[in-house]
Each structure stands twice: as C-alpha cells, then as structure tokens.
Structure 1
Amino acid sequence: MIQKFPLGNILFLDIETVPIHENFNELDLDYQELWAQKTAYQRKDEFTPEEFYDRAGIWAEFGKIVCISVGYFVLKSDIRNFRVTSFFGEEDKILRDFSNLLENHFSGPQYMLCGHNAKEFDIPYIARRMIIHGISLPEKLNLFGKKPWEVPHLDTLELWKFGDYKHFTSLKLLTKILGIPSPKGDIDGSQVGHVFHVEKDIDRIVTYCEKDVIATAQVFLRMRREDLLVDEEILHV
C-alpha cells in the first residue's frame, strides 16, 4: 500500500513551536485565566498555571510556530536527492511562505503531506495559526467536508500503529528500532522555547527541525524497504 505513493509526490514536514511569550506574566489577565482553564486537566494539582507555562508551545492558542522545515525527493534516472529547506522568522511570514509553497508547487491531487504525528499535531497547528493570522488555508490544509480517504496526508506514526489507536512511538524511538541514525542533536523539544526566547539561537532550532524531517523521510523509506538516504543525497537549499 505504501509503495503506491511516488516518492517525488510527497512533501515531508516538521514544525517547531514555542510559547507566544517568554514568561507567564506577559499574558494579559484574560489569557492567564484562559490558560489556567485550558490546562487544568493536564496540570491537576501538581503545577500552578505559571509553573506549567513552559509547555504552552504545544497549544496553538497559546504558542506560535518559529520554524517549518520541509523535504522532498528529486528523482532523475538513477540519481536520488532529498532537498531540505526551512521557513523561519516572523510567524506570519513563515505561514505565508509555506502556504505559497503548497499552492505553487504541491497543490495537485497527486501530492501528499507527510510527518511524524503530523495529523495530530503539525498540520492542525499550522492550520489554526493560519486562521489566527487571517491567512487563507491552502487546499492541502483545508479539510472541511472531506472524507477520511480524501485527506492528502500521510503520517509515519499512523503507519506504525497499524490500526492500534492506543499506541504512541516517538520519532527518536522509531529511528532507533529501525536502525536509522538518530535525528536528535544537542536539544530536544522541551528545550526549544528556551533556545528561542533566552538564547535567541534560531539556527540551532532550524538544524533540529531539519533533522526531524530527514528522519521522517528515512522512516518512510524503511517502511517501503528501500535504501536509506546517505549524506551525499541530502541537499540543504
């Protein structure tokens, strides 16, 4: 089944998100109360809303996107390249540039989007932030009225689940068990907010995000029983 999708028709993606503000007290009082209500179940009695705020990047209502990385295969005769590029800077520009990419280069019905846990996190997050910014949803993100089999999205986590809805496997674990070089570098997802707000090192975040895109493509290749990418095949553009 997975072999039916031509590699050249798949756009692999990953996003990195952070809390909108560095500190909880930068939120106005309404947002502070709404944050407390939104996270009551997750926090229980273990954390105050302020103590829990470092996780705000997980929710599109309280976080923002600081990087979207994408990768796609270019296949010419016996030559295979995987081109990786990233959008970063102001969130409005990130979203508009990504939308333009989808509309101008990946809009046809033959194209699919693919990420790890992208159906549950990356793609809904992008769509919600676009609506917040007043950006028209590109066709690939506009799911209103579509039947499940009409949604042009693939998800390596979903593929790995094989119908087991209780199962969650991180990208790091999946690469380990499939014998793929780990995508993780010197930071993990829980540190992205600190790197962005305090260290102000966006390049480090972009590198981290691009590694996840490459790892997702590698997992997809493994599931198709195809050769993994080697460094010479990966181009950063």
Structure 2
Amino acid sequence: MIKRINLEHILFLDIETVPQHENFEELDDTSKMLWELKSQYQRKEEISAEEFYERAGIWAEFGKIVCISVGYFVLKGDVRNFRVTSFHGDEVKILKEFKTLLETHFNKTHHVLCAHNGKEFDFPYIARRMIINSISLPFKLDLFGKKPWEVPHLDTLELWKFGDYKTFTSLKLMAHILGIPSPKDDIDGSQVRNVFYNEGDIDRIIIYCEKDTVTVAQILLRLRNEPILTEDEILSV
C-alpha cells in the first residue's frame, strides 16, 4: 500500500524545540506552578521542577519551535532529487512560512505529511503552537471531523510498529538497523536547548534538523524497498 503513494506527494519534516524561556526563573508564578504540576509524573522525586525545566521544550504548552526542516522529492525520468529547506528565526515567522508552504504547494487531497513519531509529536506540536500564536490551522493540520483514513499524515514510527503499540523505536535506531547513514553525528535532541540558548548557534541546529528530515525520507524508501538517497541526490535549497 505504501508503494502506491507518489513520492512527490509527500512533504517530509522534522522540528526542533526548546523551552520558551532560557531559565525557569523567567516564568511567572502561575506558569511555575503549572509547570510543576505538568512535570510531576515525569521527573524523579529528587529532581525539582526548576531543574527539570531544561526539558520543557518537549511540551508545546511550555516550549517553542526554533526550526522546521522540510524535504520533498523531485523526480524527472530516471533522475531523483531530494530537496531540503528550513524555516527558522522568530517562532511566529516559522509557523507562518510553514503554513504558506502547505497552502501553496502541498494543499491537494493526495498530499501527505511525513515525520518520525510525527503523529505523537511533530504534527500536534506544530498545531498547538499555531493555536497559541493565534495562527489559523492549515487544512493539513486541522483534523477535526476527519476519519482516520482521511488524516493526511504518515508516521515512519507507526509504519515500523506494524500494529504493535508497545514499542518505541528511535530515528537513530531505525537508521542503524536499516543501513542508513546516522543523522546523529553532531548533536542530539537533548543538546538543542544548550546549543540554542548557551551557544546561540542556530546554524548547527538547522543542520541537525535537516539531517533528520533526510533520514525520515531514507527510512520511507527502505520501507518501500527502494534504494536510499545518495549524497549527490540531496540538495539544500
């Protein structure tokens, strides 16, 4: 079934997120209290809400998006290219530019979005941050009233589960077992906050995000039993 989808109809993506503020002390009193309640079941008893705040980026209510990288296939005869680009800067700017892309180039019924663990993280995170920032949802992220088979989302993690709901397989592990060059050769998700706030190196985050986007595409190719992309087929635009 997955081989029936035209590769040119898929927009691959990955997002990078950080806490809304650099430090816990920057939160107002109500937000501090709500963060403590939100995180109480995730953190160990000996870890305070303040110490745990460095992980706030994984929740849309307490985090923000600093980069969205997207990739798409361009097929011309026997020539196959995969083009990657990124949106970064102010979060509202990122979200609006991403929305414009969806509404101008990936707005047809047959177009789908694809990410690793996208249904649990990337897609709802983007939608929630749009609502928080008073940006109306594009059709591809507005799931209200849609039947399961009408949701235009592909998730490489879900595809790999084959109906098994007990397991989580990271992008890095899937890349390794499928013989795909690892995207994690510089930083990992736990370091994005430090790179963003302490080093101010958004270019490093963009490179990391784009590599993950390419890897999602590579995994889908392997799931379709097709050759993975070579370096000269990947273009940054």
Give the aligned partner of residue 78 of structure 1.
78
Q: Distance in 2 between matches of 1:232 and 1:49?
A: 46
Give the aligned partner of residue 192 of structure 2.
192
C-alpha displacement of 1:44: 4.1
Task: Give the alignment of 1:79-118 within 5 angstroms.
Answer: 79-118=79-118
Q: Is 1:152 matched with 2:152?
A: yes
Tell me which amino acid in the other structure corresponds to 1:54: E
Stretch of structure 1 that moved more, 38-47 or 75-84 = 38-47
Q: Distance in 1 between matches of 2:232 and 2:42?
A: 44
Q: What is the percent sequence identity of the aligned residues?
A: 70
Q: Distance in 2 between matches of 1:214 and 1:47?
A: 36
Q: Distance in 2 between matches of 1:217 and 1:183?
A: 12
Give the aligned partner of residue 37 of structure 2.
37
Give the aligned partner of residue 223 of structure 1.
223
Tell me which amino acid in the other structure corresponds to 1:33: M
Q: Which runs of 5+ in 1 are unaligned?
A: none
- State TM-score, norm by structure 1: 0.99
Give the aligned partner of residue 127 of structure 1.
127
Tell me which amino acid in the other structure corresponds to 2:220: F
Matched residue SS, 2:50: coil
Give the aligned partner of residue 234 of structure 1.
234
Q: Distance in 1 between matches of 2:4 and 2:60?
A: 33
Q: 4+ residue runs of structure 1 moved beyond 3 angstroms?
A: none
Render the CA deviation track for 1:172-194: whole Å, top value 9, x for unaligned.
00000000000112111000001
Render the CA deviation track for 1:22-51: whole Å, top value 9, x for unaligned.
110110111000000111111241311001
Matched residue SS, 1:135: coil
Q: Is 1:64 matched with 2:64?
A: yes
Tell me which amino acid in the other structure corresponds to 2:168: F
Tell me which amino acid in the other structure corresponds to 1:85: T
Tell me which amino acid in the other structure corresponds to 2:176: K
Matched residue SS, 1:47: coil
C-alpha displacement of 1:96: 0.0
Q: Distance in 2 between matches of 1:186 and 1:219?
A: 20
Q: Distance in 1 between matches of 2:122 and 2:138?
A: 15
Give the aligned partner of residue 140 of structure 1.
140
Give the aligned partner of residue 178 of structure 2.
178
Render the CA deviation track for 1:33-74: whole Å, top value 9, x for unaligned.
000011111124131100100100000000000000000000
RMSD of aligned C-alpha atoms?
A: 0.6
Give the aligned partner of residue 164 of structure 1.
164
Tell me which amino acid in the other structure corresponds to 1:84: V
Task: Give the alignment of 1:17-56 within 5 angstroms.
Answer: 17-56=17-56
Q: Which runs of 5+ in 2 are unaligned?
A: none
- State TM-score, norm by structure 2: 0.99
Q: Distance in 2 between matches of 1:84 and 1:46?
A: 43
